[in-house]
Amino acid sequence: MVLHVIAACVLTALAGYLLGSILFGVLVSKTMFNEDVRTHGSGNAGMTNVLRTYGKLPAVLTIIGDVGKSVAAASLGRLLFASLIGTDALLAPVCGAYLAAIFCMIGHSRPLYFGFKGGKCVLVGAGAALSISPIVCGILLLVFLIQFAFSRIVSLGSIMVAALFPVVTLIYWVVCGVNVPTVIFNTLCCVIMATMVIWLHRSNIERLKNGTEYRFGSQK
């Protein structure tokens, strides 16, 4: 059983990282405009930079790709855990989904195929949350939309949602009545995911402190 757990974790982590390393923001910008979005704006490969640089359609395509890869990673992680560990083990198959999500985010921020320079993982984390627990994702989306309606600052909403993610997830799985090891594992994974998002937004946090962070609809 121990070997099965190790094998499941290694394969899940590898699959998550390789899927996460596919940067759809870069693929879209190179396909549609023959250039790398990371040479513009914030230098990131995420949806926000694509939207500000190229407009709505490329941003929508980036959203579909980045969310899709995280959903695929989480689904594959769940399947690997279910196949290699079983559904009656202390760690439920959903733990594989969270583990895959972490490594998908690592791949997105440090992509193997694109020189280890990627994005800030918000969409990737959101896609994973959507596929694992739509209720949690819905609650966090509501928080983001309310915040954005007042501030028009994407980064602030992303940071707030990341901070709330482990708390809402913990409450969700406790209410669902899953076993304690699964609750602890899932919550720790969410803490890691949230920490990654907040760390990758450290430059945004500085601009928020200085009052210089970009607001959508304002002049650049």
| pLDDT per position as a tens digit, 68-113 | 999 999 999 999 999 999 877 889 999 999 999 999 999 999 999 9
- State the CB neighbour count (10 A cutoff) for residue 84: 20
Residue 198 pLDDT more than 70?
Answer: yes
What is the mean pLDDT of the segment spanning 44-73?
93
78 exposure class (CB count in 10 Å sphere: 0-12, 13-18, 19+):
buried
Q: pLDDT digit string (tens) for 139-193? A: 999 999 999 999 989 889 989 999 999 999 999 999 999 999 999 999 999 999 9
Distance CA 24, CA 31 (A): 10
Q: Are 25 and 48 in contact (CB under 8 A)?
A: no
pTM: predicted TM-score of the whole model, two decimal places = 0.90
Cβ atoms of 4 and 84 within 8 Å: the answer is: yes
| DSSP secondary structure of 54-122 | H-HHHHHHHHHHHHHHHHHHHHHHHHHHHHHT-TTSSS-THHHHHHHHHHHHHHHHS-GGGTT-----H
Give me the pLDDT at residue 8, please. 92
Residue 89 exposure: Cα atoms within 13 Å on the Cβ side = 18
Enter the tokens of residue 61.
């395509």
- Angle, CA of 154, 22 and 83, to the nearest 5°: 105
**Burial of 137 from C-beta contacts in 10 A (0-12 / 13-18 / 19+):** buried
- Interhelix angle 154-176/180-200, rounded to 10 degrees, is 180
Place of tokens 């994702």: 137
